[in-house]
Amino acid sequence: MYLPIDMVSLFLLIVVFPISQAYVNVALHKHAHQQYPYIHGDVRFDASKAVDGRKSDLSWDGGQCAVSDWRQTATWWIDLTSIHSIHHITIYFRTDNYDSWFRTYVAGRVFGFSVYVSNTTDRSHGTLCFKDENFTRNTIPFVFTTNCFLHGQYVIYYNERLPGVVYPDGYDGDVWIALCEVEVYGCPVTGFYGSDCSIPCPDVNCQYCHIETGTCQGCKPGYKGHHCKLACNIGYFGVDCNEKCGRCLELYQCNHITGTCLTGCEAGYQGSMCKTRCDKGSYGHECKETCGHCRDLNQCFNVNGSCLTGCDAGFNGELCETRCDNGAYGFDCKEKCGNCRKIDQCFHTNGTCLTGCDGGYQGDLCKTQMNLDLKTK
């Protein structure tokens, strides 16, 4: 026998409402997204309807519910904007304001739903908070609450009906989003726990602790260990000590919290974390050295300035800073100057004789002998 909708609502006011007041609904008015909108661009069924704080009308056309198309998968998520410690999650399913209508037309597409908490919108990167494996048409509540003592930035509702999978009796062949409100109750700031989120986590370097017991669940950046008392190993920093330090001049001077290189960078790198190579055309310590005449300036080695693809015409040496010797020019200085009037006036890049040719020669390179008849005239 089903309870009338007004009696169920009264029960929720008496039992659920006081529990919810112990924590803050951190999902209210946050950005939400759903897969396969019912009508693209129609704000009446937008994902945000499930976090607008309105739940007086749980019908399809009441303007208070997120509704999607019927598909084989259904995904809806809320971005809490930052990582929060969560206590419990409450979901108001669409009922069209009749308990019997919910059980007849909605429940079959809701059975098997999951709730995840994640730091990304990818549920596979998150932690499963709840998975329905037991609800029937007689037992599934249209207002569902589950404890979820986790921390994360995204709460993800997911359901599926995949080809080749045999589902229990009562499961419809497709799923949808029929969410009129999703409330995520927890602490509005990190580092605290307790029924009013007023008790600091016991471990000083703990960033996320169990919202009821205070047991540390995640360290502040730069720390590790069960009680977060250990700094990251040399060469590592950040959350869970998973970030690798850059090219610090002294690796032990990489700040274990921020990754900043406190004494500067190795030759060839720049920036506070020493992860950025010198800009094009520079190299060396603090990137203060200017590359030579490399054939390709992008191929000036950022550490020592050597030109990896050779020198521009007219230069040689590892750094391509040395002009060709008198009498030579061109790439790798392999070309021999012509019969210039002054050999030191052979241009080192293209061999042009800047002050003209010796007697009997002509042309820019002074390599062409003059006609003998012309010489005797």
Domain residue ranges in the chain = 5-186, 192-230, 284-323, 326-376
Other C-beta atoms lying within 10 Å of the C-beta of residue 281:
14
Is 50 exceeded by the pLDDT of residue 281?
A: yes
Segment 175-192 mean pLDDT: 95
Q: Could you name the CATH architecture of 5-186?
A: Sandwich (2.60)
What residues contact residue 377 under an 8 Å CB cut-off, 6+ apart?
none
Segment 82-110 mean pLDDT: 95
pLDDT band at 4 (very low <50, low <70, confident <90, very high): very low
For residues 297-313, one letter each, b for 16 or more C-beta atoms within 10 angstroms of the residue's C-beta and e for the rest, the string is eeebbbbebbbeeebbb
| Helices (runs of H) and strands (runs of E) counted in the chain | 4, 27
Query: Which pLDDT score, from 0 to 100, does residue 13 have?
Result: 37
Is 70 exceeded by the pLDDT of residue 14?
A: no
pLDDT band at 40 (very low <50, low <70, confident <90, very high): confident
The Cα–Cα gap between 77 and 86 comes to: 15
Is 50 exceeded by the pLDDT of residue 283?
A: yes
Rounded (5°) CA angle 110-115-118: 150
Q: What percent of the chain has pLDDT over 90?
A: 83
The more confident residue out of 271 and 11 is 271
pLDDT band at 39 (very low <50, low <70, confident <90, very high): confident
Query: Which pLDDT score, from 0 to 100, does residue 41 have?
Result: 79
**5: part of which helix (H) or strand (E)?**
helix 5-20
The more confident residue out of 181 and 43 is 181
Q: What φ, ψ does residue 11 adopt, rounded to 5°? A: -60, -40
The Cα–Cα gap between 311 and 297 comes to: 9
pTM for the full model? 0.71
Which residue is associated with the tokens 């042309």? Answer: 363
Query: Which pLDDT score, from 0 to 100, does residue 12 have?
Result: 40
The Cα–Cα gap between 305 and 288 comes to: 11
Query: Which pLDDT score, from 0 to 100, does residue 373 have?
Result: 54
pLDDT band at 42 (very low <50, low <70, confident <90, very high): confident
- Low-confidence winner among 6-15, 121-130, 259-268 (lowest mean pLDDT): 6-15
The Cα–Cα gap between 251 and 247 comes to: 7
Is 70 exceeded by the pLDDT of residue 301?
A: yes
Query: Which pLDDT score, from 0 to 100, does residue 375 have?
Result: 46
Cβ atoms of residues 80 and 185 within 8 Å: no
pLDDT band at 372 (very low <50, low <70, confident <90, very high): low
Query: Which pLDDT score, from 0 to 100, does residue 54 have?
Result: 96
**Strands (DSSP E) found in 65-202:** 66-67, 73-93, 114-118, 127-131, 143-147, 151-160, 178-186, 192-193, 199-200
Segment 87-111 mean pLDDT: 96
Rounded (5°) CA angle 222-24-150: 45
In the chain the first and final C-alpha atoms are separated, in Å, by 127
The Cα–Cα gap between 261 and 257 comes to: 11
Query: Which pLDDT score, from 0 to 100, does residue 128 have?
Result: 98
